[in-house]
Structure 1
């Protein structure tokens, strides 16, 4: 186990922590700069720990007061284990150090460190970054010119709902006296799917509308020409007159006849590949439907098993017919 720091070292840490206005990461960097020849350097968590020990207990970490036991022993050992391996689990700390998991939890809470989950994000190509930056700048410029610009955009997207769809097991549970050993079937050989288009305009859901499973330019053109106007009937005419249409760059959206129609119906008012504002490739995080809507909707749709296409469609459309955007989220 690592040895403890001296009282002088703790004092220097506390002074630098205050100098950095209780910014532990900045304090750790400044400590390295001010004392460049030390054999070891404290992690930022140690600065937080020193501060709490002095303000709450009146002494440096692991120092014994009046011949008694330290109020939080093993703090440095736990914090050092975390500093050496940020992916370490509480169980592994117990196995390596012999410190009980309950004490590890208390020490981590006292040091204000928490286990954060890794998030999966969209992968990018090197050429994607300039396109995204250009898009951001264009949107900011439009917003500065007209603060209501974002509200005028009809954000659109398609998503496929399958029999074995999205299940967030982290939030899926049932209360029982005894464990009922809940199970959900997955990857069934009997498969079906539904492809839905949905839009969001100024906080209002437009649609959904069922599209063919294998969408192509002809199908999408028919939707824009024949079905979208019907979906927009409840939108005030003045809003439709100045509305922008957004779509991503999937092949069906890039068909020549589709772009010609958008140029005709939304002259210099559509966002997408070759649109008035170019939509950057591989950017689902910029679309509110991809970023949030589909995930939350599918979590509700798949809360119970689905046995047929009719049941899947009914559940989706019933949820959206009886709920507003605020009710769903």
Structure 2
């Protein structure tokens, strides 16, 4: 007897019962009720009834007990493959076991197994952990001593926006009645980019400000001495006089002339490489601009393809305005404190996946 679906077998047996066991009448009634499916011979109805009467599933020759043992064996096989390689896919399991992909998915779901995604993190060196823990301990202590300490720090960072920037296609979709087979061109030959600086102080976003395409110590020093002062004009005099400045450890921030200027302009009030408070190396996960701002900016900028550098600049400014209007920057203190505690708990290791 050729294989049919469980639904088809159920329909056959139901029709056979309606016809009081008359197989010929059952075959005719089945053709009448289900004109768009396969039409089994009258003998199939007899075999389906006999199989069920004998405790076997139609088409397998197995008893119900044997069916149960086969199902348990399939589950064990699937679970062993997942234990052997947790990164395997449903398709790979289906190919290796011969079990349908949907059945594999049901087995995994029944055992509460779900496909969790990897999270990209910054590569750390063995010696980085101690620096990260020390920085977090210092910051938490300062915030305990002065709850307004965090808002006195001008957190800064630079990022490059390119024509072909990062785009999470999982967040990009189009609602349609039918699949329009959408595509997105990438890797254009004519490339362009802009280098941006942004700061956050007291919940207020400063910038973004476009820096030279290649930032060196001289260019960064000019920015600190001239452009930054202009960007801070809207802040109160009290805020500017008591403000700290945070830099990360990039070469332009570490130059001798830059550090000399910072010691003069922000005496004992700057964070950075060899600063009064050491910025831990390879720690973008502790910088509010990295864990909050740039990701939001680029997700908004790249939701549509960018054609010109002027369009890229406009997109950045519009996205920055939306983020500032949202008011989220005023709430990043809590995220920073939670991250510092997470970093300490992880002994300076990766912690974002645990938050």
Structure 1 pair 322/125, CA: closer, same or farther in 2 (3 Å)?
closer
Q: Distance in 1 between matches of 2:78 and 2:277?
A: 52
Query: After TM superposition, what 4+ stretches of structure 1 lie above 4 angstroms from structure 2?
Result: 66-70
1:205–1:325 CA contact under 8 A, matched in 2:
no
How far the C-alpha of 1:275 sits from its partner, in A, is: 0.8
Larger mean CA deviation between 195-204 and 105-114 belongs to 105-114
Match of 1:194 in 2: 194
Matches within 5 A, 1:122-161: 122-161=122-161
Alignment of 1:285-324 (within 5 A): 285-324=285-324
Q: Map of 1:28-47 to 2, 5 A cutoff?
A: none
Please give the residue correspondences for 1:110-121 in structure 2 after superposition, counting only pairs within 5 Å.
110-121=110-121
The answer to whether the 8 A contact 1:243-1:269 is kept is yes
1:56 corresponds to = none
Structure 1 residues 285 and 322, CA, compared in 2 at 3 Å: closer, same or farther? closer
Q: 1:167 to 1:92 in 2, by over 3 A?
A: same
Report which of the two structures shows the higher radius of gyration computed on alpha carbons: 2
Contact 1:94 1:101 in 2 (8 A): yes
* Offset, 1:198: 0.4
2:235 aligned residue: 235
Deviates more, 1:155-164 or 1:80-89: 80-89
TM score, norm. by length of structure 2 = 0.68
| 1:169 equivalent in alignment to 2:172 | no
Gap change, CA 1:83 and 1:192, over 3 Å in 2: same
Q: Which runs of 5+ in 2 are unaligned?
A: 1-63, 330-355
**1:207-236 deviation digits (Å, cap 9, x = unpaired):** 111110011122111211212122222323
- How far does residue 99 in structure 1 lie from its aligned partner after superposition? 3.0
TM-score (norm 1): 0.73
The aligned runs of 1:239-278 (5 Å cut-off) are 239-278=239-278
Q: CA deviation at 1:126?
A: 2.3
CA deviation vs aligned residue, 1:104-123 (integer Å, no higher than 9, x gap): 32332332221111222211
Whether contact under 8 Å (2:78, 2:93) holds in the other structure is yes
Q: Secondary structure at the match of 1:165?
A: coil
For structure 1, the 5+ residue unaligned runs are: 1-65
Matched-pair contact (CA < 8 Å) for 1:204–1:325: no
User: CA 1:142/1:328 → structure 2, altered by over 3 Å: closer, same or farther?
Assistant: closer
Contact 1:156 1:246 in 2 (8 A): yes
Question: Residue 38 of structure 1 corresponds to which residue in structure 2?
Answer: none
- Matched with 1:83 is 83
Shift in alpha-carbon separation, 1:81–1:244, aligned structure 2, 3 A: same
Is the 1:244–1:271 contact (alpha carbons within 8 Å) kept by the matching residues of 2?
A: yes
The higher-RCO structure (CA 8 Å, 6+ apart) is 2
Matched residues in 1 for 2:150 and 2:121: separation? 24
**How many equivalent residue pairs?**
264
Give the CA deviation at 1:68.
11
**Alpha-carbon distance change, 188 to 327 in structure 1, aligned in 2, over 3 angstroms:** farther
Q: Distance in 1 between matches of 2:137 and 2:319?
A: 37
Contact 2:297 2:320 in 1 (8 A): no
Helix, strand or coil for the counterpart of 2:227? Answer: helix
**Aligned residue for 2:334?**
none
The Cα RMSD (Å) is 2.5
Q: CA separation in 1, counterparts of 2:260 and 2:202?
A: 26
Given that 1:220 and 1:252 are in contact with CA atoms closer than 8 Å, whether structure 2 keeps it comes out as yes
Separation (CA, whole Å) in 1 of partners of 2:98 and 2:237: 71
Provide Cα deviations, 1:148-180, integer angstroms capped at 9, x if missing partner: 322222110111111111221222221223333
Partner in structure 1 of residue 93 of structure 2: 93
